[in-house]
Amino acid sequence: MTYPSLLGTERMSYAPTLLPTRHVPLDSEWSTLSEVVQLLQYEGHCSAEMHEPVFRRRRIRAGQSLFLMGQEFGGLYLVRHGCMKTVITHAEGTEHVIAFSMQGDILGAEGACQHHYWCESLALKDCEVIRLPIDEYFSHGRASDGVERMLYWAISREVCRRQAAYAIAHAAKSEVRVARFLIEQSEHHAALGYSASQFTLPMTRRDIGSYLSITLETVSRALSSLNQLQIIEVANRDILIHSLEELQAYEG
């Protein structure tokens, strides 16, 4: 079985004026508030018409950028389908992956304070996102409502996830970081209603290494070690976890 690359060879920023115009039914361009609440798995109350189509969707092709470093802030984005990676490119040209975002995750929260995005978000495969225009909900003089509270909650959850990711990337042993990354992926898939023990990683091993601040070779060595111990089974990007308990106890 062959596994095609999920990353495109050309990096492009999302630019609606460059895309061909065509008639698209209304329900494929907009998402209702009820869908946003469901994707976020938000349990609070939103005082608005739950089925009014108020949030515009965007389609992002594999390898294309949703936003670039330094680009003017244009709101938050909620992943509807697919998987994105968020990266920072340093002055010398090196790239560091700071997040992988799947269905229900928020993108772009870092850009709100300085009015521009300080990182870049790219699609690992064809994605669809929903734009959340927080400038409209957080504007001066606007009374606080359920949607605003939901957005505060979503941003706070993203901060917590970044803190957890930081802890994973600074584990004592490099090999342990890979095991904890697989646990993180398992939990994320389970939260979305998918299998917690069998899934396909949309990111490359090089991306995983960048995310965990370790080398590509270390990622491959850790996966091979876990495979040899029969804790997991690895076939390219396909992962089968035989024992989640042993994976959690793995010390490298």
Q: Which of 112, 142, 133, 120 is nearest to 64 (CA)?
A: 120
Q: Evaluate if residue 23 carries a pLDDT over 90.
A: no
Predicted TM-score (pTM) of the model is 0.81
Section 216-233 average pLDDT:
96
Q: For residues 197 and 244, is the Cβ–Cβ distance under 8 A?
A: yes
CATH architecture of residue range(s) 171-249:
Orthogonal Bundle (1.10)
CA–CA distance, 172 with 175 (Å, rounded to integer) = 9
Q: pLDDT tens across 97-119, in order?
A: 999 999 999 999 888 888 899 99
Q: pLDDT tens across 45-83, in order?
A: 776 666 666 899 999 999 999 999 999 998 999 999 999
CA–CA distance, 9 with 62 (Å, rounded to integer) = 9
Q: What are the sequence ranges of the domains in the chain?
A: 12-168, 171-249
Q: Which fold has domain 12-168?
A: Jelly Rolls (2.60.120)
* Number of C-beta neighbours around residue 207 at 10 A: 20
Q: pLDDT tens across 37-53, in order?
A: 999 999 887 766 666 66
- Cα distances (Å, whole numbers) of residue 15 to 63, 67, 101, 186, 226: 14, 9, 21, 34, 43
Q: For residues 64 and 122, is the Cβ–Cβ distance under 8 A?
A: yes
Q: pLDDT tens across 159-217, in order?
A: 888 888 878 877 778 889 999 999 999 999 999 999 999 999 999 999 999 999 999 99
Burial class (CB in 10 A: 0-12, 13-18, 19+), 210: buried
Q: pLDDT tens across 125-166, in order?
A: 999 999 998 777 666 555 556 788 888 889 888 888 888 887
CA–CA distance, 82 with 126 (Å, rounded to integer) = 6
